[in-house]
Amino acid sequence: MKYYDDLRSFIDALDAMGDIMHVTREVDCDFEPSAITRRSYEIQSPAPLFHHITGVESGFRLFGAPASLSSRSDMPYARVAMSLGLAPESTGLEIVEALSAARHKPGIPPVRVESSAAPCQQNILRGEQATLDRFPIPFAHDKDGGRYANTWGTLIVKTPDGKWVNWSIARVMKVDGKRMVGLIVPSQHIGQIWAEWVKIGEPMPYALVQGPAPAISCVSGIPIPAHADEADYIGTLAGAPVEVVKAVSIDLDVPATAEIVIEGHVSITRDCQEGPYGEYGGYLGSGSSAQPTFHVETITYRDDPIWPMSITGRPTDESHTLWAMGLAADALTYLREAELPVKAAWIPEDSTVHWLLIVMPENWRELLPGMSSEELSQRIGEVLFKTSAMMFIPKVYVVDDDFDPTNLREVVWVLSTRVHPVGRRAVFEDQRVIRLPQCYEEEEYVAGKGAKVVFDTRQTTRHLHASFEQGYPQEVRQRILDNW
């Protein structure tokens, strides 16, 4: 296992295993990089690295699909695993377990280095020179409201008293060279911190970090508890503190090895229209909303910087790999803290974060004496739907452990044959609903409330599978395997 402390060493490692597609011809910055990246997701090709972008200073590069499925079929989750310092052949369930386990270990706080030792400050732009027009920011989809300056970068903010620092990913749209507008959801951590700045009537300092160490991008995109610092959690995963440097113009620390850092302040009113944007549910956007303005004041960057991007849409992209694993780890952590003997949690990539599978061991009834199957489903829903992360999940399936939840073919078989057409479900009415999940009606989005459900698919008596593994004597299977 190896922890990659900057984006470049990570790209080199992917390249060595044949998982980088070098695009050396010149590409138009409007749509070509995004369209190539989107196709790379859909055919599971190597991750595209663009070396020449029209209208952009020579040396600037774009990097697409940083944490999607690998082109290596023998290690499909290698990009996510390697980002987190895990072995490239790690399974999805192993990654979820690692993310959950790190929640219970002491955090390792970051360490500050001098600016002379920080590659992210090799070049500094101030005033009118600090313009987004210098950088290759493409349109993600042709129906979007603008060029999206953030799809895989880390937003760093902190509360006015400095006690809570939050690193997160949120979509941010370029307005012009000096302004961006970002989606700030009140219930999310960045929204809670922004609300504190609004209370005191002062614009919120922010840093938008493009291309930090891959673990930083990954952890920024998954849920961890409020008031916990992502930097400390990343240090736990890495086994060493993250190196940070003081930002040039604001009172924030930023990752020292980042490719690009944009510094400025966020307005205290929702004064600019953001969107539409094609989201993880797989559909192009169709509306916009008033969101705060991110004013660009200072930009620092490495020589020959790399700007990473995630082009969300139909499966499979970073939303369906990394973010889904983070949500599953969050669910697993809370259920085990509630003393429920959950064996695993998994969100199938092809469900676009609309299904969550909770896997129970065969002896769960012995571990929970006196609890019926219906009561267990109810309890699981009560625990999960109180958490912030589960506002994104409308459907939970409680399943047996006699199949591989990461194998979509087996998932479809189980859900098709074990979900009762009418009963065996626990429905939770009037749950929090936001517009990102695609399965609700307009009136539910307006009200911010809708139903969520836990489906009970467990078998009272386990049925043997009509399969090679369970349908033949062991000696017959072994003879066949020996002669295959």
CA pair distance 378, 435, nearest whole angstrom? 25
> What's the one-letter identity of residue 463?
H
pLDDT tens sequence across 207-230: 999 999 999 999 999 999 888 899
What is the residue extent of each domain of the chain?
7-309, 338-456
The residues, any chain, with a CB within 8 Å of residue 250's CB and separated by 6 or more, are: 205, 206, 207, 263, 264, 265, 297, 298
Farthest CA pair distance, the chain: 76
Model pLDDT, residue 187 = 85
| Reported pTM | 0.94
Weakest-pLDDT range from 290-294, 368-372, 422-426: 422-426
Strand duo 61-64 + 306-309: pairing: parallel
Using the structure block, give the residue that is written with the tokens 């739907």: 385
CATH classification number, 338-456, choose in 3.10.20.10, 3.40.50.740, 3.40.1670.10, 3.20.20.70: 3.40.1670.10
32 catalytic? Reply is no
Residue range 112-170, pLDDT digits in tens: 999 999 999 999 999 999 999 999 999 999 999 999 999 999 999 999 999 999 999 99
| Token digits of residue 90 | 């790690």
Using DSSP, how many helices (H) and how many strands (E) does the chain show?
Answer: 13, 23
For 43-65, give one letter per residue: b (16+ CB within 10 A) or e: eebbbbbbbbbeebeeebbbbbb
Give me the catalytic one of 32, 230, 259, 279.
279
Q: Do domains 7-309 and 338-456 have the same CATH topology?
A: no
- CATH code of domain 7-309: 2.30.110.10
Residue range 431-462, pLDDT digits in tens: 999 888 999 999 999 999 999 999 999 988 88
Angle (deg, nearest 10), helices 324-337 and 373-384: 120
Tens of pLDDT, residue by residue over 24-53, are 999 999 999 999 999 999 999 999 999 999
